Amino acid sequence: MSELAGKRALVTGASRGIGAAIAVALAEKGADVAITYERSADKAAEVVRAIEAKGRRGFAIQADSADAAAVKRSVQDAADKLGGLDILVNNAGIARGGPVAEMSLADIDAILDVNVRSVVLASQAAIPLLPQGGRIISIGSCLAERVASPGITVYSMSKSALLSFTRGLAREVGSRGITVNLVHPGPTDTDMNPAQGEQADSQRAQSALGHYGQPEDIAAAVAFLASPAARQITGTGLLVDGGVNA
């Protein structure tokens, strides 16, 4: 279980849910891991303790992913604390719903700032720091290619934008052996989308497997893409959605 021994990773928005599971999974594979969080300092500290329990170094960095300067700073801070950077996981994301005609400018800006701009800026800051064979992995959504219901248009658009970004960036950094990929979760049991929530039954009904995924399912896909075994995979998205888009 040491595929990532000696690697240094940053996972954004990782104080809970999918991000926390990714951070711990990377540590379990041998990586030292820094995470960012916005407000949940206590939960971020718990994740750091879980990383350290795997025998790896862990660090928590306060950074609001809607703040462009904070995003850039957090990447450099992570590299400084870790002694370099090999893996960037753009996990931070928010979801706000409603018909386009009724959405406020503040909500639209928030979705685009966190789900799109922060991914671009963190990747931009990481590129000069990543060595040959580095990894950039972003968390998309099964809704990036199939908008299954009304009221999620802007959110789905924000995740769709990551498809083009991933494909284009993969070509820009491929000569350095850096891979750029997406992982697309389906319904996953987190605070943002609990398996007992109001929309849970309809989401389960759309799934071929008929049940929610767990954060660890997404983390396993990210850990694979970060590993040497995935060195020939770049510019693509991996669906981990229980067959929602089957």
Structure-derived torsion over alpha carbons of residues 48, 132, 129, 19, reported in degrees to the nearest 10: -30
Question: Which candidate, 128, 26, 37, places its Cα nearest to that of 79?
Answer: 128
The number of helices, as runs of H, and strands, as runs of E, in the chain is 8, 7
Tally Cβ neighbours within 10 Å of residue 22: 32
- Tokens 């769709």 identify what position? 160
Measured CA to CA, the distance from residue 213 to residue 216 in angstroms comes to 8
Asked if 7 contacts 30 with a C-beta cutoff of 8 angstroms, the reply is yes
Q: What is the DSSP string of 85-107?
A: -SEEEE-------S-GGG--HHH
Active site residue 155: yes
- Which run of H or E residues covers position 226? helix 215-226
**Of 37, 155, 165, 224, catalytic:** 155
- Tokens 């753009």 identify what position? 90
Residue type, 19: G
Which 3 state secondary structure label does DSSP give 35? strand
Catalytic residues: 155
